[in-house]
Structure 1
Amino acid sequence: MKMNFKGLVDLHTLPKTTPLLPLYEAIINSIQSIEDAQISNGKIEIIVERDKQMNLFNQWETDIENIIIVDNGIGFDDENYNSFDTYASEYKIQKGCKGVGRMLWLKAFCSVSIESIFVEEDKKKCRTFLFDANHAVHDMKVKELSSDVLQTTKVRLNGLREQYKGNCPKKLDTIAKNILNHCFTYYVLGKAPKIIVSDERDIIDIDELYKENIGDNIKIDDIDIKGTTFKIIHSKNYMNSKDNHTMNFCANHWVVQPISLTKIMGNISVKLKDEKGEFIYNGYIMSELLDKHVNRERTKIELPEQPNLVESIGIHDITESVEKVILDYLKKDIEDSNKKKKEMIQAYVFGRNPKYRMLLKNKPEIFNEIPWVVDEEKLEMELFK
C-alpha cells in the first residue's frame, strides 16, 4: 500500500488557539526518555529562538521562529528511532502514547531536525535525521563517537507557521507558566525532571516557578463516580496571572482539556484570596477512564455528554461530581469573596446610585448573578440588565 505522508499529516488537526501543543508533546517525549534512561539527574532545556526582524515598536518579544528541546534521556537508539519512523507505533502505548504526536510538530512547524547521542552495545553513537511533511523521515545518519561525549538529544522545531504566530505567547514567563500547567501532575507526583526555558535574554527554571508559586499548596482527593475512581489535585496558584479558575481533564498525566469554573463559582472571575495572598484555582482530574478516552491529538476527552448504551459515565457525570468537590475545597475562600462583592455592590447602590435599592431588596439572588467588577460603569450596566 502506498502512502501520501503529507496527506496523512493533513488528516490531523491542531487548533490555531493551541500553537504550543507540539512543544508540550516534545517535552513529554523528553520526560519519558529520561524515565527510560532511569537517571536521577534528568534535565530538559527549552530554547526559544525569535524572529530576528524586530517589529515597528522595537520590542524585544518578537514572534517565535524556532524552538529547541534538549534532554539527557535514553535517546534515539534503534528501538526508539524505528518507533518514531512508524506511524501509529504502539511502542510506548503503555505510557498512553498514540504514536501520532509528532504529526502535530509538522502542523505548526515547517520542519524538524533531530540529533541524538545514545548508547548502544556499550558504544556511544550519534544519530541525525530530518522530518518534514514532504519527505517524512529522511537523511538519517549514524556514526560512532568517543565514550566521553555526553548523552543528549536535541529536537529542533523549525519555522513556526504564520497561522499559529498570532495565538502563540511571546513572553518567556507566559511560555514557562503554560509548560508548568501542562506538566503539572508530574511536579505534584515528584516525577518531573529539571526543566529550564530560555531565550537570548532570560532564563526561567520551572522547578523554582513551581516551588515559589505553588509549593505545598496542594490537596489530593479521590472520589468514586459510578464505580470508577477519579483523582482530583487541588492547586492554589499564587503567580501573577490573568488566567481563569479552571479544572483540567488529564490523560496519562498530561493536561488535555481545561474547563472554566467561573459560572459554578458564582461568577467569580477575579482571583480568590486567603492568608497567603491572591490565587487562581486549578484542579487536575485524572482517571484510567480518561486515559482510555483521549483523542489521538490529546486535545479532548472523547466521552459522551450523557451516559449511553456504550458508556456508563458521561462528561456531565464527571463535571457535576468534581465541581461539588472543588466548591467544598474552596468554600471559605468563595464565601469571603462573595461577602466582599456584596459589600461593594451595597456601598455603590446606597452611596452612589440609590435607584437600585429596591432591586437589591426584592431580588437578593442578584448578588450571585453579578460578576466581580471594580469599574462603576460596568457595575451600573450589570444592575441595569
Structure 2
Amino acid sequence: MKFNFKNRVRNFKFSSSDVFVPLHEAIMNSIQAIEERGNFNDSQIKIKIERDSYRIAGFTSGIFSIEITDNGIGFVSHNYESFCTSDSDYKVEIGGKGVGRINWLKAFEVAYISSVFEEDNKRYQRLFSFNIEEEIHDEKLTEVLNDTPIETKIILYNLNQEYRGATEISLKEIAGKIIEHFASYFVIGAMPKVILEDENEQIDVNELFVKEKFIETKNEIVTSNNVTFNLRHVFLNASINAKHKIYICAQNRVVCSYDLVNVDDLPTTFNINGKKAIYQCYVHGEFLDNDVNSERTYFSNVIFEEEDDNDRPHFELAINLYQVVYSQIHQFLQTYLEPMRDTRDNQINDYIENYCPQYKYLTKYAKEDLQSISYAVASNPEKLISELNKLNNKLNNKHNIQITKAIQDNDSDSAKNKLLDLTTQVVENLHSQFTNYLQKRNSTIEMLEKLINLKTTTDEIINKFFLVDEGLSSDNTNTWLIDERLAYHFENINSDKETNFYAYYNDHSNELICIDFEKFDYAKYKKSQDLLPRLEEKANGLEMNNAFVTKYLIVFNLENINLELAHKNNIHILTYHELVQIAKQKYEDLLK
C-alpha cells in the first residue's frame, strides 16, 4: 500500500464497544456496491456468522469469523484502486470515510476477498488477502466465464480474543444491531435484502425490522413554495441512545439528518402500544430527487434552517423546509404528547397533594416551571421531590428579593402596590407550609400509636421516640405531643434516665415544664402511687426563679394513681393512649 500502514492501524482507536463496526462497514460497502451496479430490485446481502469452536451447553459462543456476500458491482478497477489507498477520497462524496477496512484489521487477523465482476463486457475474478503485516497480498486476477454470477465475498477471519466476549450474543441480537445502525435505510426502503445466519438459524433481517422494530407510520403531503413534498411519520422501537430525528431524502437515500429539537415537552421515548418508541420524520419527493447532487450529499435549492429576519436574503432563492416540516411534526405529535402531558401534570399534582402539600402553591405560581419537568422525573418520586425542592427554593428566593426591594422602595405608592401584590403569594406559601406541618404531625401521632400497639418498651418510647436523643432542646423532640409549648425552644435542664424525669425551661417566658414517664416495672408491681410524690419532689428541687411550672405524669393506665392528690398538686395525668387521642383531636381541630 502507499503509506505506513502498520502505524495507521496501530494508531486507529478501537474498543470492544466497536466490535460490530467492521460488520457495519462491510454492509455499507455492499450497499454502495449494489447502488453502483443499479440492481437493487434483485439485490441481496448474505451474512454468515461462524462461532468460536469452544462450546458450552446453554452458552452463546463469541464470533470467530464473519462472511459477507453481496451481488453488487464488485472490485472493478477503480474500486480496487480505492481499496489500495488508505483514507481514499473515492467515496468521500457519497459519505464514505475511506477507513472502513482499517476497522477490519483492528478487530480481525485477516480479511479474505473474492470478487467476480464485469468490466469491458468480460467477467473476472479478483482474489486477494489483507492483513497488517503483508497488507494487500496474494492478489490474483483471472478471466471467468460470462455466466459466472457477479458476487463479492469478504471473510473477516479470526476475531481478536480481546473482543470476543462482546460478541457472545444471540443471532437475533446481532440482527438488532444491524437494524439499529441502518434504521433509516430500512424505513425508506433503501436496504437490500439482508439474510443473517449461523450454524443454527437464519434470520431475514428485513422481515425482523417490520415485525419488531417498526411500530407505526403515517404518510402525508405538504406544500412549500408551490412545491409538493411527502412526509412520513414513523415510530420505531427505541434502542439505547436512539434519538428522535428528521431525515431529508432523495433517490431512496438519506441526504441530510437533524436531531428533533424544536418540540415542547418532547420525551426521551414515546409509549406506543406499550412499547418504548422513538419518532422519526422522513421527507422525500420528486423535487428533492431532482435537486440533489449526483453524489446525494446536498441539495442545490433546498435548505433546512430556522429562519431569522436577518437571514431572509440568504433564503430568497431557496426552499426552506424547516417551518413546514416542523409545523406538520407538531400537529402529528400532539395526539401523542397531550396524553403524556396530562399524565405528567397529574402525577406531579397528585404527588404534591398527597406527599408534599408544602409545595401546593407552586401549582399556581410556578405552573410553567412544573410543566418543564420531564416525564421521567415526574414518574420518579425521588427525582420529583428534588426538583420540587429546587423550584420551591427558586420561588422563595424570588419572593424574598421582591419583598426586600418593596420594603426599601422610597416611593410609598409603589411600595404599597408591590407589597399588596405579594401578600397573596406569601400567604398561600405559608398555608402550604402549614398544611405540610399538619401532615407531619399526624404522621408522628400515627407512629406513636403503632409503637404502643407493637408493645414497644418504655425506654424505647421515651428515649427513641419522645426525646429522640439525649440532651436535646424541646423543639428537637416529640414532647410537643405532651405540651404544645414544647414545639418551641425550651432548654433541657434535667434528664434523669434512671427515673425518666425530664425538665425543660424557657428563660424568655420563665416557664418550666416537668415530665415524668412511668416505667413498666412501676405499673407491673403496682408502685404507681410512688410517682406523684417523686415528681413533686424533683420539680420542687429545681430552683428556677419563681418560674411558672407545669407538671406531667405519663402513665400506662390510671390504676393506683391518686387523682385527688394529682389535682391538689397541679399535676396533669395522661396515659399514652390519651396522648394519642388528644393529639388526634387537635389535628382535626387544626384542619377545621
Among 320, 333, 336, the alignment partner of 1:333 is 336
- In the alignment, the residues of structure 2 paired with residue 43 and residue 321 of structure 1 have an alpha-carbon distance, to the nearest angstrom, of 37
Structure 1 counterpart SS, 2:360: helix
Give 1:138-153 correspondences, 5 Å limit: 138-146=137-145, 149-153=148-152
User: Which whole-Å deviations, capped at 9, do the CAs of 1:42-100 have from their partners, x for residues lacking one?
Assistant: 00012233334457xx6544433332211112222334323322334444455343433
The 1:370/1:279 distance shift into structure 2, 3 A limit, reads: closer
Structure 2 counterpart SS, 1:140: strand
The higher radius of gyration belongs to 2
Is 1:207 aligned with 2:206? yes
- In the alignment, the residues of structure 2 paired with residue 355 and residue 42 of structure 1 have an alpha-carbon distance, to the nearest angstrom, of 65
Is 1:279 aligned with 2:277? yes
In the other structure, the counterpart of 1:42 is 43
In the other structure, the counterpart of 2:182 is 183
Give 1:281-300 correspondences, 5 Å limit: 281-283=279-281
- Conserved? CA contact 1:5–1:135, under 8 Å: no
Query: What TM-score, normalized to structure 1?
Result: 0.71
- Conserved? CA contact 1:18–1:167, under 8 Å: no
* Alpha-carbon distance, 1:139 to partner: 1.2
* Alpha-carbon distance, 1:17 to partner: 4.2
- In the alignment, the residues of structure 2 paired with residue 382 and residue 59 of structure 1 have an alpha-carbon distance, to the nearest angstrom, of 46
Give 1:144-293 correspondences, 5 Å limit: 144-146=143-145, 149-161=148-160, 170-212=169-211, 213-214=213-214, 217=217, 219=219, 234-237=233-236, 239=237, 241=239, 244-247=242-245, 253=253, 266=265, 268-273=267-272, 279-283=277-281
- In the alignment, the residues of structure 2 paired with residue 248 and residue 15 of structure 1 have an alpha-carbon distance, to the nearest angstrom, of 30
- In the alignment, the residues of structure 2 paired with residue 129 and residue 185 of structure 1 have an alpha-carbon distance, to the nearest angstrom, of 33
Tell me the percent identity.
Answer: 31
Structure 2 counterpart SS, 1:112: strand
- Conserved? CA contact 2:247–2:280, under 8 Å: no
- Conserved? CA contact 1:181–1:255, under 8 Å: no
- Conserved? CA contact 2:94–2:296, under 8 Å: no
What's the Cα RMSD here? Answer: 4.5
* Alpha-carbon distance, 1:332 to partner: 2.8
The 1:215/1:366 distance shift into structure 2, 3 A limit, reads: closer
The 1:192/1:85 distance shift into structure 2, 3 A limit, reads: same
Number of equivalences:
354
- In the alignment, the residues of structure 1 paired with residue 132 and residue 269 of structure 2 have an alpha-carbon distance, to the nearest angstrom, of 43
The 1:236/1:143 distance shift into structure 2, 3 A limit, reads: same
- In the alignment, the residues of structure 2 paired with residue 380 and residue 337 of structure 1 have an alpha-carbon distance, to the nearest angstrom, of 20
Among 369, 372, 381, the alignment partner of 2:373 is 369
In the other structure, the counterpart of 2:62 is 63
- Conserved? CA contact 1:234–1:281, under 8 Å: yes
* Alpha-carbon distance, 1:129 to partner: 1.2
Structure 2 counterpart SS, 1:339: helix
The 1:52/1:366 distance shift into structure 2, 3 A limit, reads: farther
* Alpha-carbon distance, 1:338 to partner: 1.6
- Give structure 2 stretches of 5+ with no counterpart: 299-313, 316-320, 391-592
- Conserved? CA contact 2:94–2:297, under 8 Å: no
- In the alignment, the residues of structure 2 paired with residue 168 and residue 319 of structure 1 have an alpha-carbon distance, to the nearest angstrom, of 41
User: Which whole-Å deviations, capped at 9, do the CAs of 1:319-349 have from their partners, x for residues lacking one?
Assistant: 9998787555423312221211222333333
Q: Which amino acid aligns with 2:65?
A: N
The 1:149/1:63 distance shift into structure 2, 3 A limit, reads: same
In the other structure, the counterpart of 2:94 is 95
- In the alignment, the residues of structure 1 paired with residue 256 and residue 68 of structure 2 have an alpha-carbon distance, to the nearest angstrom, of 21
* Alpha-carbon distance, 1:236 to partner: 1.1
* Alpha-carbon distance, 1:244 to partner: 4.2
* Structure with the higher helix share, 1 or 2: 2
- In the alignment, the residues of structure 2 paired with residue 129 and residue 189 of structure 1 have an alpha-carbon distance, to the nearest angstrom, of 35
Structure 2 counterpart SS, 1:154: strand
- Conserved? CA contact 2:238–2:278, under 8 Å: no
- In the alignment, the residues of structure 2 paired with residue 248 and residue 164 of structure 1 have an alpha-carbon distance, to the nearest angstrom, of 34
Greater relative contact order, per chain length (Cα 8 Å cut-off, separation 6+): 1
Structure 2 counterpart SS, 1:369: coil
- In the alignment, the residues of structure 2 paired with residue 190 and residue 203 of structure 1 have an alpha-carbon distance, to the nearest angstrom, of 21
